[in-house]
Chains A and B, each alone.
Chain A
């Protein structure tokens, strides 16, 4: 038991100094700072949107349909039913982030244990690989179509479909990091010392794999945001009249020639969110790269 504590103690200060080093690298990267600020603002707006939004999202006003952006009282204009576009975008972004976080959480909850098992136990690797292959064989939209056919279209089902589609990616990165960590001396030392497999996985491998998981989650969120938007656009996700950026685009498509802003704005918000996550994910990966600022 005494020997076993040595690697843990060794790993802890290294992890701490690494964390400060990573944070310092992030702070020095202007793109990381900008994307982080954008994401923080988006998160605040999303959380507070029910109170921040100037109008109730489902409040129609047939006297003011297709108001152009800049109209007093409707900064971003109104849609075909006279609903306030700004309010709908705020709540739509909230829904997007909700689905994205739910989806990524789903993929992590299922993918991380499977990835750990595949990397750590040789016998499980083949079985989990077949499972991954199986998941990959159903492209996300086809999976969503199937789910919608079986369970009906809803926010939860959209999140589940997007989440399932992301499981293989999580398994892949966690598995390869587990394989790498397993071969390191401190893990070998713990094994020699008689630590149980679960102990080694929980105390040694999982904590050291967090950075990889974090990066994977950061790059998975924009994919999930886009996935939710597609599903809602097709009518397989969040159901109207609940606001969603995807459904807003679907309705805007019908009168795009008359009110192009309604077709432009929600898309810009989707892209902005996804872009911020992608930029931040890149910066995070660079900051975590032990090889330093190669890229």
Chain B
């Protein structure tokens, strides 16, 4: 267990370092003079010189990298070229929106996906299995930004059941907050729910035909106990990994969903930054996403080793 975690920890650290280098070099790969790109509107030679000095662009590359990492580690990502607001404070307001949206989407997707997956595996050959499989295929195939458009068109605008856009912070009014987030979260969760459903179903079919489930039946356990205590417990290990690996897809999805529903989150901030060529913001966003992905997947591995005793002892994923 300890060895496994140490290996994973150093692998994660290495990936983190590599991704930082990639982002750092990516900014240097901007067409033309980076100072020019960073300068925005004011392109006087003095301004460019000041930018070069501010960003240390007049120094050797390795030194620039060290300074860059040092600043980023302190949460200093510079200021937005457009607004002059520090990127870190932009992130502090935007991130909670996205995190809440993502958590809601994951919870909804997990509940729906695991439920439907178990149902489809247990009720093999039933219409229920057919329906669940079909819905999962549609969930995989539907462009969710389009689903969002339709939802706004037919649910928000037509019936007024849900607000079409806007956001209320959780602490200001939890009910309003949920009211604004529930539709985006459902739509963001559809793809993930479909993936979780298919994985759960496949894992459940494997465990239901396994010898240990036969043993559980031979012990006289009720079907419900066989499914929840024996088959599902083993299948959930798979689901936890899936959520970790699908995090990238979820972040991508959140960007679009926020854009459509006008949620003032991380995604909207990213898209706005791209169109305004707000490089410090883009750089911070990319670096932060990579870090979040790596750290969360490391945590998933930790969780994994808690759920699966085989890893805890052998130090090797089965």
**Chain A residues engaging chain B, CB cutoff 8 angstroms:** 129-130, 133-134, 136-142, 145-146, 148-151, 165, 222, 226, 229-230, 233-236, 249, 252-253, 256-257, 260, 263-264, 266-267, 270-271, 274-275, 277-279, 282, 294-295
Contacts and interface: CB of A to CB of B under 8 A. Distances in A.
A134 B18 CA distance: 7
Interface in B238-287: 245, 247-249, 251-252, 255-256, 259-260, 270-271, 274-275, 277, 279, 282, 285-286
Contacts of A141: 251-252, 255-256
Contact of B249 (A134, A140, A145, A282): A140
B205 A149 contact: no
Q: Is the interface of A mostly helix, strand, loop or mixed?
A: helix
Contacts of B297: 136
Given A142-B252, A236-B274, A253 B149 contact: yes
Contacts of A148: 274
A150 B31 contact: yes
Given A249-B149, A266-B146, 13 more contacts: A130-B14, A134-B18, A139-B289, A165-B248, A234-B259, A234-B271, A249-B143, A252-B149, A263-B149, A267-B149, A274-B140, A274-B141, A274-B142
A194 to B, nearest CB: 33
A130 B26 CA distance: 19
A282 to B, nearest CB: 7
Contacts, number: 144
A229 B285 CA distance: 22
B157 interface: yes
14 contacts: A138-B289, A139-B247, A139-B248, A139-B289, A142-B252, A145-B270, A150-B26, A229-B146, A230-B143, A249-B145, A253-B260, A263-B150, A267-B146, A274-B142
B256 A230 contact: yes
Nearest to B191: A226
A235 B256 CA distance: 11
A134 B22 CA distance: 9
A136 B248 contact: yes
Given A149-B282, A233-B256, A263 B153 contact: yes
